[in-house]
Amino acid sequence: MNGSEEAVQATNEDANECKRCAVELRYWSDEFLQYFVRRCDRKAPEINRGYYARYKGISTLVDQFIKITGKKGQIINLGSGFDTTFWRLKSNNIKVKRFIDLDFKIVTSRKSFIIYHNKMLKDLISGNIRVTSSDLHSDDYHLVGADLGKLDEVKTKLQECDIEFNAPTLFIAECVLVYVDCDASHSLLSWFAQKFNHACFVNYEQINMEDTFGTVMMKNLRERGCLLAGVPACKNLETQRNRFIISNWDVSNAWDMMEVYTSIPLSERQRVEKLEFLDEHELLAQLFQHYCIAIGYKGELLRSIGFV
């Protein structure tokens, strides 16, 4: 692993700790995260609120996808880290045809080891579990190691998961493509658009990276050694939408996180806002204005997925 990959992995560890903190404060429920992520220091309220909006936004779209496709859909989580979506769905008796977590091999080997040695995680996986040094395969869950910047690697790993191009497919990427070279991410998105007939690509990522607040965000990440090779697509909502169109997706849309947060039912927002006193309302607003959820659509089936 090179220095940039190590730096990206460090940001992943930070994100996991932030999620663990928010879960412990009851922003949302996740009984499985504790097996992957150590307890950490309490984060600032605006950080917890921001991670809640991220979680709620993505989980809302996952729920919409499952409502449309039932057990026939497949979910591909790109740059998945220690994400626990598969187990949260399975523990609620929600099954999809195929769930694939994909990340760098150093991440998937750690995740595979944790899963294989934890009965609660293992018992929710259907069928025979087959493990290699960095991958794990079963009837309904696959964990594979690949570099998203290397399309041939991704193709090979998805084929090993018995991927079905005709099945409705939800792709999820959370702060992932910003670290991938624009040409490489274009090739990846174009290949997905070419191969999958009914697909929806959900991308949670930065926007407005050229204003003062965004420039500070980029400076902080670069000082940590992160090469933001994909940042040209993070200029604004329009560039996030356009990345799908130029990659031959049929339609795209994008919402900043303020729009996503205000789409959450009022009663749920009121519950969350009572959890911690928030002094830095302006900082939270700035954070929300510098992240978005963008969606690319292929085919008509999944076109209704999104926020109102």
Task: Identify the pLDDT of residue 276.
Answer: 97
Residue 148 known to bind ligand: yes
Tell me the Ramachandran region of residue 162: left when phi exceeds 0, alpha when psi lies from -120 to 50, beta otherwise: left
Residue 179 covered by a domain: yes
Percent of the chain with pLDDT over 90: 90
Residue 127 covered by a domain: yes
Q: What is the pLDDT of residues 130-173, one digit of tens each?
A: 999 999 999 999 999 999 999 999 999 999 999 999 999 999 99
Residue whose C-alpha is closest to residue 22's, from 283, 276, 293: 276
Q: Which of 8-22, 67-81, 294-308 has the weakest average pLDDT?
A: 8-22
Residue 177 known to bind ligand: no
Task: Identify the pLDDT of residue 103.
Answer: 97
- pLDDT tier at 10 (50, 70, 90 boundaries)? confident
Task: Identify the pLDDT of residue 224.
Answer: 86
Q: Which domain, by its residues, includes 278?
A: 3-298
Residue 121 known to bind ligand: no
Residue 237 known to bind ligand: no
50 φ/ψ angles, rounded to the nearest 5 degrees? -65, -45
Report CA-CA distances (Å) from 147 to 29, 62, 80, 105, 185.
Answer: 30, 24, 12, 8, 11
**What CATH number is given to the structural domain containing 172?**
3.40.50.150
| Residue that wins the pLDDT comparison between 226 and 19 | 19
Residue 187 covered by a domain: yes
Residue 147 known to bind ligand: yes
Residue 307 covered by a domain: no
Residue 209 covered by a domain: yes
Residue 27 covered by a domain: yes
Q: Is residue 1 over pLDDT 60?
A: no
pTM of this prediction?
0.96
Report CA-CA distances (Å) from 203 to 52, 79, 111.
Answer: 16, 11, 22
Task: Identify the pLDDT of residue 2.
Answer: 59
Residue 303 covered by a domain: no
- pLDDT tier at 129 (50, 70, 90 boundaries)? very high
Task: Identify the pLDDT of residue 162.
Answer: 97
Task: Identify the pLDDT of residue 5.
Answer: 73
Decide: 108 and 100 in contact? Cβ < 8 Å.
no
| Residue that wins the pLDDT comparison between 119 and 7 | 119
Please tell me the total count of domains within the chain: 1
